[in-house]
Amino acid sequence: MKSLASYLVPPRFEDPEQYRQAYWLNRYLLAFDATMMLLLVLIRPLSRFSGFEQTAALLGLVCLFSLGLVCTGLVYFGRIRLAAWLLCAVSFAIITGLMCVFEGIRSSSVVGYFVIVSAVSLFIRGQAPLLFMVLNVSALTLVYMLEQNGIVVSSFGTRSTIDDLVILSAGLVLNTLLLRQLIEGLSTGVADAHCAADALQVANEELKQSQALLKQLHHELEARVAARTAELQIANAQLQHEVGERKRTEEAMQQAQKRESLGLMASAIAHDFNNLLVAMLAQNNLAMRKLPPHEAAREHLQKAVLAAEQAADLTRQMLAYAGGSQLEMEPVNLNRLIEKNIHLFRAAIAKHVLLHTDLAAELPLIEADRSQLQQVIMNLILNGAEAVAPPSGDVWVTTGLQTLTTADAPYWHWTGSALPPGEYVFLTVHDNGVGMTPEIRSRIFDPFFTTKEDGQGLGLASVLGIVRDHRGGLQVESQLGQGTTFRLVFPKSQRAETAVIPHQTAAPSNAADLCILVIDDEAPVREAVTDIMALHGVEVMTAVNGQEGVATFARYKDEIRLVLLDMSMPGMNGLDTLIQLRQVDPTVRIILSSGYAQQQIAPEVKVNGLTGFLPKPYDVNTLVSKVWHYLSPSPQD
C-alpha cells in the first residue's frame, strides 16, 4: 500500500514550477481514473447499452483508465508534458470513436472534449488549447454530418439539429477561451507572485548585504575617525611646534633687524670716530716728538694718546659688532691659541675664580683672525668670571668637534644666518655664576647694554660681530642660579697652519724728493698725514674728494709716487676713484684707507704690490711704515 501510495504521489522536484505541475496533473489523473472506474462499475446495471455498444463502451472506458495509469507513471518520472499530450491525444481519438458508435453529437462522450480542453489548458499551455478546440469542433461537425447522412444512427428517434451543433460548438469555444483566459491570468499572477517573491528575496539579500556593508562601513568609519583623530592630534602637535618655531623665527628676525640697524649705526659712528682718532693720535704723537724729553706737558699728551687708543679699541669693538672689523684670516689651532694665552686669561680674572680647560685632542684647524679670536675668548672668560660672586666660583673652557644638521637652528639664532650642515669646531665657556633672566639674555648682544656699573656694553656685542665675520654660530643657555654657557661653533679649515713673520721697512734714501697725494674728505686726516710726512721731508698734496683727486693726479702724475686714498667719501667713492686713477696710470701705487674691513670695502680689488690697505685709526709709526713700504722699489704684501 505504501508503495502504491508513493507511486500515486509524485516525488518532489528541484524546480518549484515542475513540482507544482506534477502535483496538479497527478491529482487530475487520479480523478480521471476514478471517474473511469466509476463508469465501468455503473455501465452494466444502469445503462441501456447491450451487445456491441456495451462492448465498445467497456473497451473504451478500460482504454481510458489504462491511459490514466500510464500518464500517472509518466508524471511520477517527471515527464509532465508528455503525459498531458498523451492523455489529450489518445482521449480525443477514443472519444471521437465512441461518439460515432453511440448517440452522435448528443452522446455523453461529448463531455470528454471539455475534459481534453481542460487538460490542455492546464498542463500544456501556449496555442495547444486552441488547436484542440479546433479539433473538437471539427470532430463534432464531422459526426454531425455523418449523422445527417445516416451513417451514424441515433437511438433517440430523432436526428441532431444544427442548433445542437451550434450549442455544443459554442460551449466548447467558450469553455476553451474562458479556461485559457483563467489559466493565463492565474499563470500571470503566479509569475508575478514568483517575480515578486524573487524580487523580495533579492531585496532581502540586498538588505542583508546592505546591513553587512553598513556594519563594515560603520567599523571603517570608526577606524577612520580614530585614525583621523590621531592624525589631528599629531597635526595639532606639529602646528603648535610650527607656531613655536615661527614665533622663535620672528623673534630671531626682529633681533636680526635690530642688530642690523644697530650695526649700521655703530659702523657709521665708528667710521667717523676713526677719522677723528687718526687726527688725534697723529697730532698728539707729533706734539710729543716736538717737546723736550723732560717737558711737563708730555705727561698730559701721553694721557691723551692713551685715551685716543682706548677710543680706538672701542671703535674696533663697535666695528666687530657691525661685522666691519679688519680680519687677517689664517688657519688657527684653537687649542694652541688657548694654551698660549691661558696665563693671560688667568691673570685677567679675579682671584676667587678658578679657570679650567678641557681641550679635545687632535682638534681640526679653523679659519680665524688670531687677535679677534683671542679677544672673543677673553671677553667670554671675563664675562663668566664677573658673573661669579665671592667667595669662590669656576669657569670652564671646553673645545671639541661637533656635527651640525639643518635642524640645529639655535646656533644661528643670534648671528642671523643659517649654518651649512657639516663638522664644526666648538668652543664653550661655562660659569657657575648667578645666571640671567630671559629678558636680560635677549639683550646681552645689544651694543651699550650692560648690567655692570662700570661696563661699556660692547664686549659681547663685539663677540657676536666677530663670530658672524668668521661664519660661525652662537648659542647661549642661562638660568638664574645655575650659571651661563656660551657655545660657539666655527667651520673647519682645509689649510695647514702657517706662521706669520712681520716685515719692517726702512725709510728710502730719497725721501726728501718724494711726493704723495692724500685723497680724503676729512680735513683732520689730511692735516695729520701732511704734518707727519713733513717731519720726514715728504711733500704731500691733498684733495677733498675723488674728482679733485683724479684731476690733481692727472696734472702731477710724474711727481706723485704714491696715493693715500680714503674709501668712504661722498660723491665719487674710493673704488670709483681708484679705477679712474688706474686709467690715468696703471702702475700708480695706491694705499686704500678705511675704518671698515678690507674684505668689505674692496673685495674686488686685488691688494698686491701696487695696492695696499691701511686700516683706520692708525698712529704715526703705522702710517710711516706703510708709506715707506710702498715707496720701496719692489713692495710686496
pLDDT tens-place string over residues 57-108? 778 778 888 887 888 778 778 787 788 788 777 877 777 777 777 667 767 6
Q: What is the pLDDT of residue 609?
A: 61
Percent of the chain with pLDDT over 70: 70
Strand partners, 474: 488
Confidence of residue 500 (pLDDT cuts 50, 70, 90): very low
Residue holding cell 681640526? Answer: 364
Give how far Cα 514 sits from Cα of 99, 536, 635, Å: 167, 10, 16
C-alpha cell at 526: 689730511
Domain boundaries, the chain: 2-160, 329-491, 511-631
Instruction: Name the residue among 464, 475, 333 with its Cα closest to residue 404.
Output: 475
Q: What is the pLDDT of residue 189?
A: 63
Question: Cα(452)–Cα(454) distance, rounded to whole angstroms?
Answer: 6
Query: Mean pLDDT over residues 226-248, rounded?
Result: 81
- Average the pLDDT over each of 165-174, 318-327, 414-423 and give the range with the smallest value: 318-327
Q: Are 491 and 367 contacting, i.e. CB atoms less than 8 angstroms apart?
A: yes
The three-state (H, E, C) secondary structure of 233-295, written as one string: HHHHHHHHHHHHHHHHHHHHHHHHHHHHHHHHHHHHHHHHHHHHHHHHHHHHHHHHHHCCCCC
Cα distance between the two ends of the chain: 138
Task: Report whether pLDDT(601) > 60.
Answer: no
Q: What is the pLDDT of residue 8?
A: 66
Task: Report whether pLDDT(519) > 90.
Answer: yes
Q: What is the pLDDT of residue 548?
A: 92
Confidence of residue 502 (pLDDT cuts 50, 70, 90): very low
Q: What is the mean pLDDT of the chain?
A: 76
Q: Are 87 and 72 contacting, i.e. CB atoms less than 8 angstroms apart?
A: no
Q: What is the pLDDT of residue 412?
A: 65
Between 3.40.50.2300, 3.60.20.10, 3.40.50.2000, 3.90.1170.50, what CATH number should domain 511-631 receive? 3.40.50.2300
329-491 and 511-631 have identical folds: no
Instruction: Name the residue among 566, 78, 570 with its Cα closest to residue 274.
Output: 566
Query: Mean pLDDT over residues 118-131, rounded?
Result: 71
- List pLDDT tens digits, range 138-182: 777 877 777 777 777 666 556 677 777 777 777 777 777 776 677
Which helix (H) or strand (E) segment holds residue 397: the answer is strand 393-404
Domain 329-491: top CATH class: alpha beta
CA contacts within 13 A on the Cβ side of 465: 32
Q: What is the pLDDT of residue 477?
A: 87
Query: Mean pLDDT over residues 441-466, rounded?
Result: 69
Q: What is the pLDDT of residue 19?
A: 78
The DSSP secondary structure of 89-129, one letter per residue, reads HHHHHHHHHHHHHTTGGGSGGGHHHHHHHHHHHHHT-TTHH
Q: Are 363 and 401 contacting, i.e. CB atoms less than 8 angstroms apart?
A: yes
Close Cβ partners of 431 (under 8 Å, ≥ 6 residues apart): 384, 385, 387, 388, 393, 394, 395, 396, 483, 484
Q: Are 560 and 541 contacting, i.e. CB atoms less than 8 angstroms apart?
A: yes
